[in-house]
Amino acid sequence: MSDPERYLILIEGGPPSNYSAWSPDLLGCVSTGDTLEECIAEMREAITFHLDGMTEDGEAIPDPTGPGVYGLLQAENAGLRAG
């Protein structure tokens, strides 16, 4: 199985709202979090769950386009770093 850390994560939002994330490689795989760190951790967990489900269902696992974390955030949070 592919390494969940290799999948690209895109994040948007931020204060005063929460953060939301998705991976363009995995249709329907999304997550949210109150903080940036929580959102990334929840998304990594969602990717693992998504890949496990695809494997269980006999679906082909897409190649990752990552790794990386990229954000479309409020101006005061523009310091997001790739990780």
Domain assignment present for 2 = no
Domain for residue 52, yes or no?
yes
- Residues 23-78 have pLDDT tens digits of 999 999 999 999 989 999 999 999 999 999 999 999 999 999 877 777 765 544 44
- pLDDT value at residue 1: 55
pLDDT in the model for residue 73:
55
Above 50 in pLDDT, residue 2? yes
Looking at per-residue pLDDT, the higher value among 20 and 76 belongs to: 20
Looking at the structure of the chain, the number of domains it has is 1
- Residue 26 belongs to a domain with what CATH number? 3.30.160.250
C-alpha dist (Å) from residue 15 to 11, 62, 73, 76: 13, 33, 9, 9
Q: Which of 11, 9, 40, 36 is nearest to 25 (CA)?
A: 9
CB atoms within 10 A of CB 28: 8
Which pTM value belongs to this model?
0.78
Residue 59 structural domain? 14-67
Give a yes or no: residue 72 inside a domain: no
Classify residue 8: in a domain, yes or no: no
Q: Residues 42, 36: contact at Cβ < 8 Å?
A: no
Please indicate, yes or no, if residue 24 is contained in any of the structural domains.
yes
Residue 79 lies in a domain: no
